[in-house]
Every structure is written in structure tokens, then in C-alpha cells.
Amino acid sequence: MLGILFKFFSKYIVKDIKNVYILFSSLLSDKNKEHIRKFACESFASLIRKGHQTRFSEIIKQVFKQLLEFLGLEDLSHLVEESLLQMLTSMATHTVQNHCVAVQETFSDILVELISEIQCSENKDDKIKHLTCILRLLHFWILFKNGKLITPENKLTNVAVLLSGLKDLPTYCMTSVVELISSIMLNDCLKLPIDKVKTIISQVSA
């Protein structure tokens, strides 16, 4: 019954997705049973799916970007990351590469913003933690189906170059950066030009 109601009201929910997510985040608490937590995760995945097809809804960028931004809230971060991981699993299972551009571009856009903020900010600890969370999610997305959901596009290539140029990152974040770049290269999913590969390697090893 809950699933039917959620489906019926979904078109209204997406108009106020930010506040709705705050309400739903309480369902992700460890105090709730596993089936309740899964329902909350899968419900949000269904918001950005179009029925049972492999395409995503036109609101994918709006919803996904706002959820990624919630990772920057310290009191909700672990719950948001857990729900996003479940959501990405559901999304990746039911789609194909040519319908994933919006997801990839959303990852790229928010990473570019965070990298810029880290480079320009003195108090950047929270932003680095936020960056690390998003890198873990993107790494999962790349590894799913061995990189077959990733399309060669300039935005994510640019992100790889920018990430490799970040300096003085704590070990936990640098580990995530290296793991992500390694997966991109090993899966050859971005078809990186030789000059970009040389730039990335030289910046990481500098």
C-alpha cells in the first residue's frame, strides 16, 4: 500500500524533493527495521526512473544533485551515503549506458564545484570529507558492470585531471582519488587521450 501511495504522489513529491528527503531520512535510521530502510532507499530510486524502462526521468539532475549535496551535512552524511548507494545500485541494475549521461554529468558538475571550493578555501576539512563521499559513490558507479555504464565525455575527463592536481589532501581522500583514477584507466571507460593520461600521472606522482 505504501508503495502504491508513493507512486501516486511522486509527481507532487519531486516538486519539494529537498524537504521530502529530510522527512524520509528518518526512515533510514538504524532504529528502523531493514525492510523500512530499503523502502526509503528504493522509493527515491523510483522517483528518477520512468516506469520499468531503462531511462531516467527528466528530474534526475535536480533530484540527484540535491541528494549529493546532502552528503555535506555532517549529521546526515552516513545515512545519505547509505541511501544513495542503494539508489545507485537500483539505478545501475535497470539501465544501460546511453541513458546514464545525466547521472555522469551530475557527478561531474558537483565534483568540479567542490574541487574549486577546496582550492579556494582555507577551512576545507568538511568539503574534503564531502568530496571523499562523492568519490566513493562515483567509484561504485564506475565499477558497476566494469565501467560499461560510463560514456566517454569531456566533463568527467576534466574531473579526473582536476582531481589529480589537488594537493595536500589527507590520506583517506587521496586514497579515494587514486582508486577512482585507477579504475577509470583500468576499465578504459573514458578513452582518455594520451596527453591527459600523462598529465594525470605526472600530477599524482608530483
Confidence of residue 82 (pLDDT cuts 50, 70, 90): confident
User: What's the rounded Cα separation, in Å, for the pair 34 and 180?
Assistant: 30
Confidence of residue 51 (pLDDT cuts 50, 70, 90): very low
pLDDT at 23: 64
Residue 68, all three cell numbers: 549529493
Burial bucket for residue 77 (CB in 10 Å: 0-12, 13-18, 19+) = middle
> Pick from 84, 20, 88, 91: which is nearest to 50 by CA?
91
Q: Is the pLDDT of residue 56 over 80?
A: no
pLDDT at 4: 52
Q: Is the pLDDT of residue 187 over 50?
A: yes
pLDDT at 19: 67
pLDDT at 2: 46
Q: Is the pLDDT of residue 92 over 50?
A: yes
Average pLDDT over residues 103-129: 92
For the entire predicted model, the pTM comes to 0.74
Q: Is the pLDDT of residue 76 over 70?
A: no
Percentage of the chain modeled with pLDDT above 70: 75
Beta-carbon contacts of residue 195 (< 8 Å; ≥ 6 apart): none
* Residue given cell 555535506 in the structure block: 72
